[in-house]
Structure 1
């Protein structure tokens, strides 16, 4: 496997130099991942100053390894770890993240997840199918006669945020504002984020939190049949969620419940159209559709990296980690491991190999995976059925938001 010119690999030291903001990389990260699998699947990324894993088995195991966790300050102090104090200019963001399901470890994680989980089990999510179909058809009705569309703003942005907001109990008309807050919020997870990115995220975190706080006050006095009311009024072992826990949980559900799915709709339509394969066969029945969706999740995942802190001394693939070290798992690269997927860079909707790791695994497996899968299994075949002759009208531009992977826009015609 040829090493791309923007990637430097020292196989002896297992060190890699790679600028994640280089368009040659973030436009097509799969090429770099293939080179890493061939030459250095476990490596120290010099620019990020930590170790990363790309091998499927290593990533899959680490996602489930209780020697590693999403947080570290429950077992060690900042002083012990040499960790700097939080920045004052991100205090609202840090407060909103303080009780995030994505960041907590047991027992707090167990308590929060138990209260939320029943809303996202497949049998409950399946009841949303008619609503998703109705919304998708209504959006297509709005642009079908135009014979062209920018798919993200007219379709992909709208469906996931509308559905997760409805589940929680937030009005549809808040959708555009939720998108603006969310886009600012996820700026905190980009590599090489700027002070401007941090200030925008903090400002939106405050506005987002204030809005959710107002919703909580409403639901306390007038409960409804929605997830927010459920979280407020349901106890777990005699305990109720605090207001801060409710705010963090609502924000993470809204962000995680739509951001990745927006990217994945765009990524999936692009890879399907660029493959030139028969979409009639891809979406011939529910089983074929499900396989196609899983293959798009494998080859063009929307979230590429998750980090873990080492909680106790451990060794992975010959690398020794001590308490407080961070290790990164490149989920999107694990999905391309040639030991699991023959010809991993080839889009093959008929694949029936190892499950992709795009939603993670273990206790932090994506709680919204059933909803995301349902949305993709409904809207992708619907688009191709309603718009025969669908094609890409302009070369898609990829967002400079690594380690997320999504398009700036997707212009289509038919």
Structure 2
């Protein structure tokens, strides 16, 4: 039996776990801890988070699809009924921006919003962006190839996803750095390290973000264009159009989800490949091989680790009874390492043909941007390794203290 690190305590009988999510020993290499949880206690009560967590692949996969659980609860229960605190006044702008988020809604509102947006993100529409993504990647590499070194996140990974999602929505390229700042502040609300200062920053950025999107909406109403924002403004679903608040929430969630995770995934993927014993030329030999390589990086170093769900009714899962209004957490990145589904799960094996990874979720909240994220990864990673075949990691990378996200502070490369 593996020895537990000093920051982890597991009581397999009571299924209770004590784990400091801010300990670098954990967030720097969460896969090792997930392996221990699979070994001792795949379903557990995390004492510091005061919540039940599931890591088993079958449980996570089923719960993502289980309509007895949902992303919101206040559509069927009052705050008093489930003991939920009142909204914080200093988060009113953030809460307003989140109110109609695709990530937070349940049917029928979720169905209406997703139907209006979905057409732009289906694979056949997204595939048209491949030449544009490739051209952007090539031009960025042109800018640093001669230097013999680069910090890949700032020179490459940060730029491609935010540029592409902004162009799709209809936001000019020069807004990229501002969008990144707003987004970083905004997603700070979902990190275990969240402080009061993070909350004030998120609320401030939510207001600035929303005000900017409102100005764009007004502009597109006056002068429609061939972009996603115009499409969302002028397309109806069963006689209904999106309200301004719905348009703001949807645009913000598309911008945040459309780049934040992909930035981390580009960095994580490059690191895993360079740390492996595989020849990158073989990992990207053709499109089919490339897709398997990208799938394996998504499995072993996913950028988003946790999705949460509310119990919408009394329900029993894995011998545990949950009441309506209870919240549970699903660790997608741990489900991707379940030894019941994946042989030698901590090993990077691009040839795997086992269970599909759960990094994009499942069910009605399956990531709407998955086709775009996959296309970006499948396009830019082969270009990067083809252009810089002697690329190597110049300094040991440090993982960011941003759990439950997983990404690098920086990735210094040389060739």
8 Å CA contact 2:265, 2:302 repeated in 1? yes
The CA deviation string for residues 261-320 of structure 1, in whole angstroms up to 9 with x for no partner, is 000000000000001211111111111100000000000000000000000011111111
Residue ranges of structure 2 left out of the alignment (5+ in a row): none
- Pairing of 1:6-405 with structure 2 (within 5 A): 6-405=7-406
8 Å CA contact 1:307, 1:327 repeated in 2? yes
8 Å CA contact 1:306, 1:330 repeated in 2? yes
Give me the TM-score of the superposition, normalised by structure 1.
1.00
The CA deviation string for residues 339-375 of structure 1, in whole angstroms up to 9 with x for no partner, is 0000000000111110000000000000000000000
Return the offset for 1:4: 2.3
Secondary structure in 1 matching 2:121 = coil
8 Å CA contact 2:265, 2:301 repeated in 1? yes
8 Å CA contact 1:4, 1:31 repeated in 2? no
Return the offset for 1:245: 0.1
Secondary structure in 2 matching 1:212 = helix
Secondary structure in 1 matching 2:138 = helix
Secondary structure in 2 matching 1:284 = coil
Partners of 1:151 and 1:172 in 2: how far apart?
A: 19
Residue ranges of structure 1 left out of the alignment (5+ in a row): none
The list of structure 1 runs, each at least 4 consecutive aligned residues, that deviate by more than 4 angstroms after superposition, is none
Secondary structure in 2 matching 1:115 = helix
The CA deviation string for residues 100-140 of structure 1, in whole angstroms up to 9 with x for no partner, is 00000000000000000000000000000010000000000
Secondary structure in 1 matching 2:352 = coil
Return the offset for 1:193: 1.0
Q: Which moved more, 1:277-286 or 1:203-212?
A: 277-286
Return the offset for 1:192: 3.9
The CA deviation string for residues 137-156 of structure 1, in whole angstroms up to 9 with x for no partner, is 00000000001000000000
Secondary structure in 2 matching 1:408 = coil
Return the offset for 1:5: 2.2
* Aligned length in residues: 414
Return the offset for 1:12: 1.0
8 Å CA contact 2:295, 2:357 repeated in 1? yes
Return the offset for 1:191: 1.2
Partners of 1:192 and 1:350 in 2: how far apart?
A: 36
8 Å CA contact 1:93, 1:201 repeated in 2? yes
8 Å CA contact 2:183, 2:256 repeated in 1? yes
Secondary structure in 2 matching 1:302 = coil
Secondary structure in 2 matching 1:327 = strand
Partners of 1:153 and 1:66 in 2: how far apart?
A: 40
Partners of 2:27 and 2:42 in 1: how far apart?
A: 18
8 Å CA contact 1:185, 1:201 repeated in 2? yes
8 Å CA contact 2:193, 2:402 repeated in 1? no
Give me the TM-score of the superposition, normalised by structure 2.
0.99
Partners of 1:280 and 1:136 in 2: how far apart?
A: 18
